Structure 1
Amino acid sequence: MNARYTTPPQRDSWFAPLSIDMFIKVLKTSFFHPFVAWIIPLCFRAQNMYWDATPMLVSIGWASLISLSWILNAINNRLAFGMPREVDLSEEVIVITGGASGLGLLVAEVYGMRGATVAVLDVQEMESGEARGVTYYKCDVTDKAQVARVAAEIERDLGTPTVLINNAAIVIGKRLLDMEIEEVEKSLATNLISHFYTLKTFLPAMARSESGGTVVTVSSVIGQLGAAHLTDYAAAKAGITAMHKSLAAELHETHPQIRTVLVTPGQLSTPLFYGVQTPNAFLAPVVEPVDVAKEIISAIDNGHSAAIGMPLYARWVEWYNVLPLGIQAVVRSLAGLDVAMRTFIGREGTRHSEKNGVLIQGF
């Protein structure tokens, strides 16, 4: 049965923009920032308060603790990711898979406007048409012959790639029992195997270059949590997360000039998960692509390796697996993790009805 399917109603209220991430961001730029923390004892001193007064001692202790935590965080990042590489945008050639829409398109357009050379690989035409500084190549990244052909064209037209952003992904959004084998194969080929094709194609040139390069892997928090209706997607994302960590370890030993950036966002506000509503907008807000793009661009610009997790729970999700299994089950139920896909429509405008299993065509 075919029927028109409209977008599920979105929660809309005065407190809709409020989330735990917003509060943390405000605190990090105020109460938990060293500059602001040290203003407090300076204000006390301006009021002629003695150095040994209790409020003065408490404020100095707090400012010292915050400053120490920032210093330790900087040391931790340096130990984990090493020294940054030098980046000159006029010399960078950035390859983005799945860059015709969503997060990939946003990153491509930003770099194109800033003077970098950008190549977008996608089977779909770019949503914005032509973009300044961006060259579109029609390419199915699940076909290694097409990847090799396009790589040769990029080398000829734009130069040797220095940044690879593996961003291509699809979401089938069905229960495993409802999926065809061909759909499973397509999902794993796009979400997992294509990463190996692009890495094997573009990484050798970065390895030969003294200036190195940057490899960005866009994974998902679902790869660590799993979720109903996402067995194929979760398996692939878990695979590329493990692949990225292993690759980073290899490159650290053999090619330390290459930087690696792992991105594990929660639900993104892109067509990939069109129709899905977050079960808890306060604790698990939908992430805007522009926020993730800012973090990716910052890491590439500064030549840093990085692990980017958004929103807040995505940065702490590994602790979930430490919890007792019973508590994990309670957390999943309270979070609504396994019912979120019931309203999924997707990029292609289709979804499965939970009620009768009928495929409903959307427009």
Structure 2
Amino acid sequence: MNQPRPTTRESWVSSISVDLFLKVLNVTLLHPFVAWIIPLCFRAEHQDYTTRPMIVSITWAIFVTLLWMGNVMSHKIAYGIHREVDLTEEVIVITGGASGLGLLIAEVYGMRGATVAVLDIADLESTDARGITYYKCDVTDKAQIARVAQEIERDLGTPTVLINNAAIVVGKKLLDMDVEEVERSLTTNLLSHFYTIKQFLPGMIRNDTGGTIVTLSSVIGHLGAAQLADYAAAKAGVTALHKSLAAELQEYPEIKTILVTPGQLSTPLFYGVKTPNPFIAPVVEPIEVAKEIIKAIDLGLSDHIGTPLYARWVDWYNVLPVGVQKIARKLSGIDTGMKTFVGRKGTELSEKNGSLI
């Protein structure tokens, strides 16, 4: 049984964040269509093109349009053309899909007619999930993955989408961890990606319609944090693995790769961890991440999904002078957040079950 999440009473102000402001701007002043509405309104008032409001509004509309076009072109250059996706023909494999983010994605695709296979050591949280076939599998065991892969091929067909979502968090200082805990963490959070990709990628390459590989990483892989040495090391490795794999797959344009580097998710994996700054670094709801992943898969695109806003700019942290980096860490509270960590309790903690990002 999952440990119930501690409930806290928060004011409505806690929902206000940089990301909320950005979402509003993206559908208003930073949207090309809206930007061009403004000079059109001025023209409806019969203002001349030489008036200051017209000049400023047209200049802004051109600037926003060029930014939008540049972003589209940059994405095309980086990731190429999309692949055709027919959900009725897709076989989607999700590791750690018995609960949390993995189960959320599985349920959405199951209801939409895709064939979904969930791999997890834990039982499904939702027994009413439609369109989902559950396979009990420990992703740290190569033999189990090989066996389940054969069963999926026999029961459902050749997988076309692989979502590597399984993860665990030990939440201890390095010297407080047993060697077995370190090994289990690295195997679940990193090596399992190698096992599943080696198992399912060849079938995608043979498939005429190609496939998509989704890698769930974390901003902690870029930043590191106290009491997360094993998790940070694994997520850094996962990010490097994904980028190297994407480079190797350039000769297979029909294979798409999606890297996801979220901040702190509102899942049982990090129960008890309090975000140091909810305005700059708000806790991310799994539904928000799921929406972005599903959108990229549906469009047949390669992508890099980072949320909240700081997660998309985290690479710039390493550009800062080391002194500024230390000050930033101190102000952000990143190295004290795990002091209130609760995580999964009871048998789930003792078994170190890999279930969600």
TM-score normalized with structure 1 length: 0.93
TM-score normalized with structure 2 length: 0.95
2:350 paired residue number: none
Select the residue among 115, 118, 123 that pairs with 1:117: 115
Q: State whether structure 2 residue 271 is matched by structure 1 residue 274.
A: yes
User: What is the alpha-carbon distance in structure 2 between the residues aligned to residue 7 and residue 155 of structure 1?
Assistant: 37
* Contact 1:8–1:343 (CA under 8 A) maintained in structure 2: no
2:313 paired residue number: 316
CA spacing shift, 1:145–1:6, aligned 2, 3 Å: closer
* Contact 1:221–1:314 (CA under 8 A) maintained in structure 2: yes
User: What is the alpha-carbon distance in structure 2 between the residues aligned to residue 82 and residue 17 of structure 1?
Assistant: 36
Q: Which amino acid aligns with 1:330?
A: I
Q: Unaligned 5+ residue runs, structure 1?
A: 351-363
Q: Which amino acid aligns with 1:83?
A: I
User: What is the alpha-carbon distance in structure 2 between the residues aligned to residue 322 and residue 348 of structure 1?
Assistant: 39
Q: State whether structure 2 residue 233 is matched by structure 1 residue 235.
A: yes
1:332 paired residue number: 329
Of residues 99-108 and 6-15 in structure 1, the stretch that sits farther from structure 2 once superposed is: 6-15
User: What is the alpha-carbon distance in structure 2 between the residues aligned to residue 221 and residue 349 of structure 1?
Assistant: 28
User: What is the alpha-carbon distance in structure 2 between the residues aligned to residue 115 and residue 18 of structure 1?
Assistant: 36
2:300 paired residue number: 303
- Per-residue CA deviation, residues 311-336 of structure 1 (Å, 9 max, x unaligned), is 00000000000000010000001000
Q: Which amino acid aligns with 2:114?
A: A
- For residue 9 of structure 1, report the CA deviation from its aligned partner: 6.7
- Per-residue CA deviation, residues 149-208 of structure 1 (Å, 9 max, x unaligned), is 000000000000000000000000000010000000000000000000000000000011
Q: Unaligned 5+ residue runs, structure 2?
A: 348-357
* Contact 1:277–1:340 (CA under 8 A) maintained in structure 2: yes
Within-5 A mapping of 1:177-326: 177-252=175-250, 254-326=251-323
CA spacing shift, 1:129–1:7, aligned 2, 3 Å: closer
- For residue 255 of structure 1, report the CA deviation from its aligned partner: 1.4
List structure 1 segments (4+ residues) > 4 angstroms apart after TM superposition: 5-9
The secondary structure found in structure 2 opposite 1:232 is helix
- For residue 275 of structure 1, report the CA deviation from its aligned partner: 1.0
CA spacing shift, 1:7–1:295, aligned 2, 3 Å: closer
Q: State whether structure 2 residue 66 is matched by structure 1 residue 68.
A: yes
User: What is the alpha-carbon distance in structure 2 between the residues aligned to residue 144 and residue 207 of structure 1?
Assistant: 21
- For residue 63 of structure 1, report the CA deviation from its aligned partner: 0.3
1:356 paired residue number: none
* Contact 2:6–2:271 (CA under 8 A) maintained in structure 1: no
1:129 paired residue number: 127
User: What is the alpha-carbon distance in structure 2 between the residues aligned to residue 223 and residue 81 of structure 1?
Assistant: 23
- For residue 52 of structure 1, report the CA deviation from its aligned partner: 1.0
Per chain length, whose mean CA-contact separation is higher, i.e. which structure has more relative contact order (CA < 8 Å, sep 6+)?
Answer: 2
1:342 paired residue number: 339
- For residue 6 of structure 1, report the CA deviation from its aligned partner: 9.2
Q: Which amino acid aligns with 1:158?
A: L
Question: Root-mean-square deviation (CA), in Å?
Answer: 1.5
Tell me the matched-pair count: 346
- Per-residue CA deviation, residues 260-308 of structure 1 (Å, 9 max, x unaligned), is 0000000000011011110100000000000000000000000000000
The secondary structure found in structure 1 opposite 2:15 is coil
Q: Which amino acid aligns with 1:41?
A: P
Of residues 12-21 and 232-241 in structure 1, the stretch that sits farther from structure 2 once superposed is: 12-21
- Per-residue CA deviation, residues 238-274 of structure 1 (Å, 9 max, x unaligned), is 000000000000001x312100000000000001101
CA spacing shift, 1:162–1:9, aligned 2, 3 Å: closer
- For residue 120 of structure 1, report the CA deviation from its aligned partner: 0.1
Q: Which amino acid aligns with 1:305?
A: S
Q: Which amino acid aligns with 1:34?
A: P
1:98 paired residue number: 96
* Contact 1:214–1:259 (CA under 8 A) maintained in structure 2: yes
